[in-house]
Structure 1
């Protein structure tokens, strides 16, 4: 394999000392502007890059930030939300020549272990923390390690002062207002993972809205899942097989909503004539199904960009900030309509 260029190679090619190369590449005084430019040109020609491990050992930044996802790996390939979120994050990091160290773990304990390992090895300068939980040990751990962090999706009350968040409660209220306005009085909710703060916020908001409208205690029902199409289909069957099946279903992602359409079609339940369907996250999947799915439209890549910039600002010495992302809007399409009169 070709040998990686070293500072010695740059010094030989540029005709300067190794210490001059070190000063120039690390932005330190001690060389003239002309010499600095020549050294950097030679380094670029040779394809030299700083050794991140050596920089970390010397106390310099690692030039990378971390992101751990403690979710079933099988769900990542079909869920568009995280793909769009990471795309937005990477857009900002790439512009600042900062790498993204991404890891998928089997459970929350492995996620905590990853943070400890990254901190001990000085692999990252800070982390983006997704899926804030109702009882979240990560905030205390990261604080004890002194590892800068921005929580993505957690409200300031739950995640602390360094976060970017979205108003899930208001979004669920918009969905409920739309369905109630159409005449629906029994609404099922196929929710995401239990224990996640945004899952709990959505469930509470749905219940509070039902109470506000004077609906009975059995008017709304939420079933938690792992976000997969299989779990979404199972939850749909569970809700439709109840003694008083809902006339509308709200799904916490697009994949489960499409799976729900398949269950309804298999049972001969026409959408939206007999059952209305709403997807939490809009995606091309929602727009190519038949009927097209009513969905919440939001700028997910923009949410990722906001999170990445917040972490970079924190690493640059800025204060912790709680930033709210762009509020989603509901896009009514052909999958929602008034319920049958018999209901």
Structure 2
């Protein structure tokens, strides 16, 4: 195919062996084709640098009726985290009530996430995107401004000037709730086993823990990739020290349960010798023994609010003011106690 010729939907249909209608469904993120066919069509469109014409865009209207959500997390961890299941279910519940679709992709890097936004915008596949896990000086925000593409960030603090609007949960307050509780129990050697260090919430939680030095607490952050495997490896290392921590807080419930298994494997009694806690809660955290002390938040409600906020942002000519997300509360269960209790 000549590079000088502009690739059309008919060309893509011929190369994919499908009808032009199927190509249109695939490129616009609409139902009507299988996932396998959709992927084949999108790969062909990318390979030949297909771009929708301005005339075609005008004919179909300015709205795609779809919201995008590109998740930059290891794919192997998503199926185990109740946080994502609840968040997506909440967003889908809100969107379905307005007959809006949700296009979800899992990407391996932040560069691929930005590339996904560019593809969605160029093909008019989504009206806006939900952005997760903000970083300090996040390169995604500049890309979203340049496209431009409506966005709402699920973040840990209020957004900076010129950044997309944020539905935010005060992670500093949440971290104080959990770390202060452990310090109040008398723990003076506390470790935070986090996800990736570049995430804003990791920095905020680590800073709160470091700030407890004024109360005589020796705090430490161990960075992982959110996986149970790395959480387990981190705990084996921590419990092999001559001077062990007396309390360990994990970023999510699955990591905490993996840590609990390691403690049992090494004969360390929870909570008599070691207190464990999590920044995320789920039904599983209440079913294991000992049950896990967690920060409990309405993640389903967060997904609902984020989706509603994004639809409002799509309709607005300017960036809307930030909104507060559901405030987490501490749920104390069997996995925490005074040191040596």
TM-score (norm 1): 0.80
Aligned-residue CA RMSD in angstroms?
A: 2.0
Shift of 1:318: 6.3
Q: 1:24-76: per-residue Cα shift (whole Å, max 9, x none)?
A: xxxxxxxxxxxxxxxxxxxxxxxxxxxxx966754421111101011110001
Structure 1 unaligned runs (5+)?
6-52
2:181 is matched with 178
Superposed CA deviations along residues 106-143 of structure 1, whole A, max 9, x for unmatched, are 11111111011111111011111111112311100000
SS of residue matched to 1:340: coil
Q: Where do 1:88-107 residues align within 5 Å?
A: 88-107=90-109
Partner of 1:235: 234
2:272–2:337 CA contact under 8 A, matched in 1: yes
Q: Does 1:166 align with 2:169?
A: yes
Bigger CA radius of gyration = 1
Change (3 A) 1:329 1:181: same
Q: Residue 156 of structure 1 aligns with which residue?
A: 158
Provide the residue aligned with 1:145 in structure 2. 147
Does the 8 Å contact 2:153/2:164 carry over to 1? no
CA 1:149–1:290: 2 relative to 1, 3 Å: same
Change beyond 3 A, Cα 1:60–1:249? same
**1:172 CA displacement:** 1.1
1:227-264: CA deviation from partner (whole Å, max 9, x where unpaired): 11101101111222234210011010000000000000
Conserved? CA contact 2:70–2:106, under 8 Å? yes
What residue number does 1:83 align with?
Answer: 85
Note the C-alpha offset of 1:266: 0.4
| Equivalent residues of 2:134, 2:155 under 8 A apart | yes
Indicate the residue corresponding to 2:291 in structure 1: 292
Deviations 1:271-325 (A, max 9, x none): 0010001011110110010001111111001111111111101112265121111
CA contact 1:134–1:158 (8 Å) conserved in 2 = no
In 1, Cα distance between the equivalents of 2:302 and 2:263? 33
Correspondence 1:59-138 to 2 at 5 A? 59-138=61-140
Distance (whole Å) between structure 2 residues aligned to residue 4 and residue 147 of structure 1: 27
> Is the CA contact 2:188–2:216 (under 8 Å) kept in the aligned structure 1?
no
Give the drift of 1:214. Answer: 3.4
Partner of 1:230: helix, strand, or coil?
Answer: helix
Q: Report Cα offsets for 1:163-185 as digits up to 9, x if no partner.
A: 10111111111112211111111
Aligned residues of 1:161 and 1:321 also touching (Cα < 8 A): no
Aligned to 2:210: 207
Distance apart, 1:79 and its partner CA: 0.7
Give the match for residue 200 of structure 2: 197
Aligned partner of 1:34 in structure 2 is none
